[in-house]
Chains A and B, each alone.
Chain A
């Protein structure tokens, strides 16, 4: 049988400043799958992302993270990203003097699709255009004075240049108007190989969403509900979202318990 498993998180526990934030996390994601992470504010969703990225503040105290069969638990962020992890941040920092264009150039050179140069590849230029960024916009300092929607589109554009194999999306739809959510969803689908038949998809994703609106456009295989740092429930995204809408997170998790 062909191995389809891309990401395996087993018994993961993470502490931040000496306080245990995540525990007993088990999460398995196959190639070609998209999972959704739901949960109330402060339940640990973003913490899980930061831990998977290996940010220094997030200390793994138990468990392990395997990516493409390799144990990445103790790798640096750069090593993980070079192995194929990618992320779109909810609130990325502005970096003065670092142009979006320069960053895109580095990102597309890092994956070997183009040599480092002053000019963007025609492919990146076309993608920028598709995401409604003008040439002048690409000259702006990254995230500096960007609107909410511009931040999200810039994050997706950078991922398109980077071409990761596994992507974490932290609320890619928050603060984005309806028209642009559809535009973003279209590109997220490209990033996740959704244009291919399920068996041929190679890319996977894990998506945090509050309102679930984006799920109308991006199909997901499984949803997980995070409560107090634990995965309280997993299942069909449509059913779980329905439950949450009716019963709230607490009610939903109780239902899960019965299942």
Chain B
């Protein structure tokens, strides 16, 4: 089985991804990247790094967090967990601790998806293992951070997240680069497994340097009566991002929600989609994207709803504001219905700031620029549903902070 996996990875080593610019690993340093020392707690980080982490919602004081995980380049620098409901460790550690961990690997994300998954399987990736124990509900989130500290590093991570039966798990992840880093690469494979009755919320903020290439690969497998909520926020410049998380709603009454806030700046190319394969009876999916393009940025927002069983429902919504002539928003919604009695819908609108709204605010004394900025921030600050109250407030703060620069 493992040999088979490696063979498949080997064959996919040069397989270009279906979407996004092809990135050459040769331009980056992989596992030979410099090692970083392990620390007890994020409190031991330098003030500079603490600040970078805070920008992506990772609080070095660790207050209000169930646990913290930090990977710098390829090194696991910190992993601590206060909660008795959750197991948190590096993936390599988990593989050593539990025989069964490898049975989960590469089920939600096929290993031969493309060269990025293949590279992750064939190398020695970092990454975390998070598991919420059966019948537990930890209201505080685990915070995880993927940090690139050195120039030209190609960071790889393989994350396995398991929510056991009837458990509830909240995760905040922030990805960021050190102040001196300009060019780097990040490949993160994340596999989520939700057992019967489980719920996971996963809120991710990206804040990369301007020449970073980002290729996350995410798969989510949902069993009966499960809920998975993903919130993705990216508003800072980056070179290219291509991501297309896929949720497999296999269980009866399983439900997935993808919410994305995308702000394109400078010459960033953001290609972000979400896909839901609805095979479970009465399963449902909701996808909401708000995108704003500035400068010379290009934003591709994709959504794919595949209804393959009766009584499934899905809705896809994408709203975009194009703020400059040199930028672009390309919205690609796809609906695929292959069963009776299902309901799939989409609504997409790409346009400019409504002049009527600008004039309304100007009639209250705001300048034209102040009015436009207020409208754009309002447009991006969508209400995130499904989080516990403390986390909702925290997430709201993260969003407000992220959209300040737009």
Contact = CB atoms under 8 A, between A and B. Distances in A.
A201 B194 CA distance: 69
In this complex, the member of B363, B368, B380 whose beta carbon has the largest number of chain A beta carbons within 10 angstroms is B363
8 contacts: A95-B357, A95-B374, A95-B378, A97-B379, A98-B375, A98-B378, A102-B374, A103-B364
Given A77-B359, A78-B367, 16 more contacts: A77-B363, A78-B365, A78-B366, A81-B364, A81-B365, A87-B363, A93-B360, A95-B361, A95-B374, A103-B361, A106-B364, A106-B366, A110-B365, A158-B364, A162-B364, A162-B365
Nearest to A91: B356
A96 interface: yes
A55 interface: yes
Contact of A96 (B360, B361, B379): B379
| 7 interchain residue pairs of minimum CB distance | A97-B378, A98-B378, A110-B365, A77-B362, A81-B365, A93-B356, A97-B381
B363 A93 contact: no
A137 interface: no
Contacts of B354: 93
Interface in B356-406: 356-357, 359-368, 370, 374-375, 377-382
Interface in A67-119: 76-78, 81-82, 87, 89, 92-93, 95-98, 102-103, 106-107, 110-111
A37 interface: no
A179 B363 CA distance: 28
A254 B367 CA distance: 44
A76 B362 CA distance: 9
A141 B378 contact: yes
Interface residues of B, number: 23
A65 interface: no
A97 B383 CA distance: 8
Contacts of B380: 97
Nearest to B378: A97
Contact of A92 (B360, B367, B374, B379): B360
Contacts of B356: 93
Contact of B364 (A96, A97, A107, A141): A107
A202 B363 CA distance: 21
B350 to A, nearest CB: 15
Contacts of A158: 364
A223 interface: no
A6 interface: no
A14 interface: no
A82 B365 contact: yes
Contacts of B365: 78, 81-82, 106-107, 110-111, 162
Contact of B374 (A81, A98, A162): A98
Interface size range on A against B? 20 to 34
A92 B366 CA distance: 16
Contact of A97 (B355, B361, B363, B377): B377
A238 B374 CA distance: 43
A38 interface: no
Contact of B368 (A78, A89, A93, A111): A78
Interface in A214-231: none
A92 B362 CA distance: 12
Contact of B359 (A55, A103, A107): A55
Interface in A5-64: 53, 55-56
A114 to B, nearest CB: 14
B268 to A, nearest CB: 22
Nearest to A102: B374
Contact of A93 (B357, B364, B366): B357
A213 to B, nearest CB: 25
A158 B377 CA distance: 20
A17 B307 CA distance: 49
Interface in B165-213: none
Contacts of A95: 357, 360-361, 374-375, 378
In this complex, the member of A53, A56, A77, A103 whose beta carbon has the largest number of chain B beta carbons within 10 angstroms is A77
A237 to B, nearest CB: 26
A28 B275 CA distance: 63
A158 B361 CA distance: 11
A77 B381 CA distance: 27
A72 B362 CA distance: 15
Interface in A115-169: 141, 158, 162
A142 to B, nearest CB: 9
Nearest to A94: B357
Given A93-B356, A93-B357, A95-B360, A76 B368 contact: yes
